Structure 1
Amino acid sequence: MKTSIQIMTADGTAAAMLIKPQGGAAPRAGVILYMDAFGPREALYWMGQRVADAGYIVLVPDLFYRAGSYGPFDAKTAFAQEDSKAQIMGMMRATSQNLTSRDSAAFIQALTSEGATGDIGAVGYCMGGGRAITAAANYPDRIKAVASFHGGNLASEAEDSPHRLADRIKARVYVGVAGVDNSFPPEQSARLAEAFRIGGVDHAIENYIGMAHGWTVPDHSIYDEAGSERHFKRLLTLFEETL
Structure 2
Amino acid sequence: MKETMKKTAIFTDNLTKSFSRKEVIREFCLSVERGSIYGLLGKNGAGKTTLFKLLLGFLRPNSGIASVLGMDSLKDNCEILRHTGSLIGAPTFYEHLSAVENLRIHLAYMGLEDIEIDPMLKRVGLPAPGPQPVREFSLGMRQRLAIARAVIHRPEVLILDEPVNGLDPGGMRQMRMLFCQLAREEGVTILLSSHLLSEVGQVADRIGVIVDGRLALEMDTDKLREIHKDDMEDFLIEIMEGGERSDTSDYFRN
Normalising by structure 1, what TM-score? 0.31
Normalising by structure 2, what TM-score? 0.30
Question: Which of the pair has the greater relative contact order for Cα pairs under 8 Å at 6+ separation?
Answer: 2
If you compute each CA radius of gyration, which structure gives the higher value, 1 or 2?
Answer: 2
